[in-house]
Copies of this chain bind each other. A is one copy, B any other.
Amino acid sequence: MKLSEKKLLKKKEEIILSAVKIVNRKGYRRATMEEIAGELLMTKGSLYYYFKNKEDLVFQCHEKVLSQATEELESHLNECISYEEKLRRMIATHIQYAIEEKETFNMIIKPDQTFSTEQLNPILVIRHEYAGLFDRVIREGIAHREFTIKEPKIARMILLGSMNWIQQWYSPQGGKSMEELQEIYADYLIKVVK
């Protein structure tokens, strides 16, 4: 890879980070290209050198965030610990992302509100993959007799649904810290699959 390409990628990454920040703060519609550019002391015109359009930029934000999260989840799956412990750690990871990357995660949750059909599909694929990791830990946990339930898919939906909901009410100033939440959620959600 040439130096110029490297520079290009670095710049793209910077822009994505800025976009993630703004979109998380304001939501997709309210986040303007101008503000995203302003954060980096650029002008909005420049963004179009790096990204085809706003949708494309935000799409790449997702890819980044979600692939990061997926990676983390996978690492937990590969650790040498009990399935319960694996699931605990995956829950903690998901909660962290849901809180810290709130709006970006939100777009993954309701992508059809944001993306055109063309870009919808790749997102659904990543999303499906992501959910699949939870399916796997549950299924394998059942196979190893750590979990007992009959409907692993529905259990997974309960897990993800309840964790995604955290966004609706969580506030850093609220009563519980993120760490506490991670623990309590893990405790209670493990009960579901046990």
Contact = CB atoms under 8 A, between A and B. Distances in A.
Interface in A139-168: 149, 151, 154-155, 157-166, 168
B168 A111 contact: yes
Contact of A157 (B113, B155, B165, B191): B165
SS of A interface (majority): helix
Nearest to A169: B157
Given A181-B154, A188-B149, A191-B192, A113 B27 contact: yes
Contact of A161 (B155, B165, B176): B165
A152 B179 CA distance: 18
A6 B157 CA distance: 43
A136 interface: no
A109 interface: yes
A2 interface: no
A11 interface: no
Contacts of A151: 184, 188
Interface string A102-125: 000000011101000000000000
Nearest to A25: B113
Contacts of A189: 158, 192
A29 interface: yes
Interface string A17-42: 00000000011011000000000000
11 contacts: A27-B113, A109-B168, A151-B184, A154-B176, A157-B165, A159-B162, A160-B165, A161-B168, A165-B165, A188-B192, A192-B192
Interface pairs A-B: 4 shortest CB-CB? A161-B165, A29-B29, A161-B162, A158-B162
